[in-house]
Amino acid sequence: MQSHDLSAWTHKHSFDAGNPAAERGTQAVMWITLAMMAVEIVAGYGFNSMALLADGWHMSSHALAIGLSAFAYAAARRHADDPRFAFGTWKIEILGGYTSAILLLGVAALMLVGSVERIITPQAIHYREALAIAVVGLVVNVVCALILGRAQEHRGHDHGHGHAHGDTQDRAGGHGHHHHDLNLRSAYLHVLADAATSLLAIAALIGGLYYGWSWLDPVMGIVGAVLVASWARKLLLETGKVLLDREMDHPVVAEIREAVETGAAEGATRIADLHVWRVGKASYACALSLVTHDPQLTAQRVRQQLAVHEEVVHVTVEIHQCDMEHAAAS
- Residue 329's pLDDT band, with cuts at 50, 70 and 90, is very low
Strongest mean pLDDT among 27-31, 89-93, 152-156? 27-31
**What proportion of the chain, given as a percentage, has pLDDT over 90?**
1
Three-state DSSP state, 290? strand
Burial class of residue 280 (count of CB atoms within 10 Å of its CB; 0-12, 13-18, 19+): buried
> Which position has the higher pLDDT, 62 or 222?
222
From the centroid of its chain, how far is CA 40?
Answer: 28
pTM of the predicted protein model? 0.64
Q: 168: pLDDT confidence band, cut at 50, 70 and 90? A: very low
Q: What is the pLDDT of residue 143?
A: 87
Report pLDDT digits (tens) over 226-284. Answer: 887 888 888 888 888 888 888 888 888 888 888 888 755 556 788 889 999 888 777 88
Give the Cα separation of 190 and 193 in Å (integer). Answer: 5
Distance (Å, whole) CA 255 – CA 269: 15
pLDDT of residue 19: 62
CATH of 2-11+249-329, one of 3.90.25, 3.40.50, 3.30.70, 3.30.1280: 3.30.70
List the domain boundaries for the chain: 2-11+249-329, 20-243
Q: Which of 86-90, 183-187, 252-256, 257-261 has the highest mean pLDDT?
A: 252-256
pLDDT value of position 177 = 37
For residues 5 and 220, the model is more confident at 220
CA dihedral for 173, 235, 216, 143, sign (positive or negative): negative
Q: Which of 44-48, 87-91, 317-321 has the highest mean pLDDT?
A: 317-321
Alpha carbon distance 302, 296 (integer Å): 11
pLDDT average, residue stretch 215-235: 83
Amino acid identity of residue 274, one-letter, is L
Contacts 24+ apart (CB under 8 A), 212-215: 214/122, 214/125, 215/119, 215/122
pLDDT digits (tens, 9 = 90+) for 307-323: 888 888 888 888 888 76
* Cα of 192 vs its chain's centroid, Å: 15
**Of the ranges 2-16, 75-89, 98-112, 160-174, the best mean pLDDT one:** 98-112
CA geometry: angle at 190 spanning 232 and 101, to 5°?
30
Question: How high is the pLDDT of residue 178?
Answer: 43
Decide: 99 and 65 in contact? Cβ < 8 Å.
yes
Check whether 84 has a pLDDT greater than 60: yes
The answer to whether the CB of 299 falls within 8 A of the CB of 5 is yes
The reply to whether CATH 1.20.1510.10 applies to domain 20-243 is yes
The residue ranking higher by pLDDT, 11 or 85, is 85
